[in-house]
Amino acid sequence: MLTAANFKFSVPDGAVYGYFSSAGLRTLELRDRDAAPPLLLHSAPNRAWGHALHGLLEHYFAGASVSFGDISLDLASGTPFQQIVWREAAKIPYGASATYGELARRIGNPRAARAVGAALGKNPVCIVVPCHRVLAVNGRIGGFSAGLHWKRRLLSLERIPCIE
């Protein structure tokens, strides 16, 4: 759970909080309106990155097709396997989806669907690394660390069908 943030973007149901390190976006987290916010820090070196991310999120939550590929990421908190999974998940385009098994095959480990799911559950930069676009077999919704209500909302925004 994010304890300090230097980025905030408000949405009707809550807020998106993030933390930029000197290397890039390290954390991005969805919080419900009634959840306690993290301590907000101000970091001058990252204002340009924050401004760019704010603009992309503004378009994204307005329903526009957005690519977050230009946002620098700091994924150093993950294991090498997690980083491979996160980078592959980041390639899933807006409005598209993949299954955990498909993602496992894409990284060359077809039997690692559960491990892929576990890695996505630790994704530190949701939305930017769109783990919400990864579904279970037969289009079932699967899990989401921020809660299934957020996953449903993001999938709906991108018009990605899923089965409950």
Render pLDDT for 6-40 as a digit per residue (tens, 0 to 9): 889 999 889 999 999 889 999 999 999 999 988 88
> What does the alpha-carbon distance between residue 104 and residue 143 come to, in Å, rounded to a whole number?
16
Catalytic residues: 131
In tens, the pLDDT along 110-145 reads 999 999 999 999 999 999 999 999 999 988 999 999
Question: Over 70: is that where the pLDDT of 45 sits?
Answer: no
Tokens found for residue 41 = 């820090």
Largest CA distance in the chain: 46
> What does the alpha-carbon distance between residue 45 and residue 13 come to, in Å, rounded to a whole number?
29
Q: How high is the pLDDT of residue 2?
A: 76
pTM: 0.93
Q: How high is the pLDDT of residue 37?
A: 86
Query: 43: pLDDT confidence band, cut at 50, 70 and 90?
Result: low
